Amino acid sequence: MTTRRTSYLLALAASGALVLSGCGGGTLGGGSDDAAAEGPIKIGLLVPQSGVYKSLGDDMKAGFEVYLEQHDDKLGGAEVEVILADEGETADSGKAAAEKLVKQDQVTVVTGVVSSAVMNGVVDLFETSKIPLVGSNASPTTLTDATYIWRTSYVNDEPGEALGKYVAENVDGGVYFLAADYQAGKDEVEGFKKSFGPAGGETVDEVYTPFPDTSNFQPFLANAKSSGAEALFSFYAGGAAVEFVKQYDQFGLKGDVDHYSAGFLTEGGVLDAQGEAAEGTFTAMNYNYDLDNELNKAFVEDYEAKTGMKPTTYAMASYDAAKVLDMAIEAAGGKADPEAINTAIGEITEVESPRGTWTWSNIGTPVQMWYLREVQEVDGTLRNVVVDELGELGSD
């Protein structure tokens, strides 16, 4: 599909909906006069606009908007009205926002969702309402048989799984596991072990820190340092990631024990807060702003022009959710038909993405390449830099 890059006017309606009015130009081939007469297709954008995950929600909102800006504010040739809903930071707040979108706003499709707890809490809503949800972040390992829920991100255990084999083959000695004690932390460790053990990796110990109350990691890091491990695999995100990386340096592990983690540890704004303490940290992620392909170059350029920042994996997955909806709405004739759009989503065979081309797995998640990144200083600024490919996941 040809990318058409143009500016657009974003009007914030008094109701709080983002009404995206078309700026003219040709359709993508699926629109019709009948569809235009029906009015714009309502799309719910469910992302945090408050609470601890707001920065992720901002990234996802901006990524979705960049795609619309590049495509004359239309998806599948149809005018769209994007209704922004605040997911908040709890399962209850996210579920309430989703129910409003589906039952009160009567959207045709929803995208977004940061929290796995929210995703688990809304499965029944979307399955019984037969409204497609194209999630662009949360993807719990237990979500395997939904009909109306798709994810353009990953499965929660895949960052760990992508790293396990590599670490087993490149670390001469044992590895210490240290992660936050909640579902995401356990998913990442289990994913890591899934590929680490069969590749001959040696586990020194597996420790979980209380979540969300741990801010002093010194006793845990002291045990890791005295264990004799050659490397450490961790999972932390948000404020905990900042404190963990700083203390990893302060307590003498940096430069002595190699540090590997899921990419969330250094993704986005947390890297700025971590500063030099993060340099040399290795992470696995499905995307990085420096991937060398033309679509990514255009995405990075437009995202930076809009936000002043490099895009994150959260922004990229939301951009791809817009692309999926673009393709599916076009295939559905440009009409507000949830079941036709859902069927069309499942029939998509390839998605050309800033991360590289991907397709659906049998559980509605991407089959995609994973990358090894290292935090390096680039032109005086710390950045995640791709240093190797870790292989493709998602086909099983």
pLDDT tens track for 62-78: 999 999 999 999 999 99
Assigned superfamily of 158-285+370-393 = Response regulator (3.40.50.2300)
What is the 3 state secondary structure string of 115-179?
Answer: CHHHHHHHHHHHHHHCCCEEECCCCCCCCCCCCCEEECCCCCCHHHHHHHHHHHHHCCCCEEEEE
Query: Which pLDDT band, with edges at 50, 70 and 90, does 2 fall under?
Result: very low
pLDDT at 87: 97
Band of the pLDDT at 295, cuts 50, 70, 90? very high
Compute CA distances 187 → 153, 162, 190, whole Å: 15, 13, 5
Q: Tell me whether the omega of the peptide bond preceding residue 212 falls within 30 degrees of 0, making it cis.
A: yes
Judged by average pLDDT, the poorest of 51-55, 187-191, 286-290, 356-360 is 51-55
- How high is the pLDDT of residue 238? 82
Q: Tell me: the pLDDT tens digits for 215-233?
A: 999 999 999 999 999 999 9
- Is 43 in a helix, a strand, or coil? strand
Q: Count Cβ atoms below 10 Å from residue 168 Cβ, excluding itself.
A: 18
Higher-confidence residue: 28 or 278? 278
Burial grade of 225 (CB within 10 A; 0-12, 13-18, 19 or more): middle
User: For position 1, what pLDDT does the model report?
Assistant: 35
Convert the pLDDT of each residue in 313-343 to its tens digit. Answer: 999 999 999 999 999 999 999 999 999 999 9
Q: Within 13 Å of residue 39, how many CA atoms lie on the same side as its CB?
A: 7
Tokens representing residue 201 in the block = 């990796």
Is the Cα torsion angle 46, 61, 320, 35 positive or negative in sign?
A: positive
Say yes or no to pLDDT of 348 above 90: yes
Q: Look up tokens 């945090």; give the residue.
A: 48
Confidence of residue 396 (pLDDT cuts 50, 70, 90): low
Which helix (H) or strand (E) covers residue 224, if one does?
helix 218-226
Res 241 pLDDT > 60: yes
Architecture field, domain 10-154+291-364: 3-Layer(aba) Sandwich (3.40)
Mean pLDDT of the chain: 90
Looking at residue 52, its pLDDT comes to: 79
Confidence of residue 10 (pLDDT cuts 50, 70, 90): very low
b/e burial code for range 363-375 (CB count within 10 A of at least 16 → b): bbbbebbbbbbbb
pTM for the whole thing? 0.85
- pLDDT band at residue 17 under the 50/70/90 scheme: very low
Question: For the residues 1-5, what does the mean pLDDT come to?
Answer: 31
Q: What share of the chain is helix, strand, coil (3-state, %, to 5)?
A: 40, 25, 40
Statement: residue 92 has pLDDT above 80: yes
Q: Domain limits of the chain?
A: 10-154+291-364, 158-285+370-393
Identify the CA nearest to 368 among candidates 388, 351, 387. Answer: 351
Domains 10-154+291-364 and 158-285+370-393 equal at CATH topology level = yes
pLDDT digits (tens, 9 = 90+) for 170-206: 999 999 999 999 888 899 999 999 999 999 999 999 9
Give CA torsion, residues 87, 90, 96, 97, to 10 deg. 0
Q: What is the pLDDT of residues 98-141, one digit of tens each?
A: 999 999 999 999 999 999 889 999 999 999 999 999 999 999 99
pLDDT at 6 > cutoff 60: no
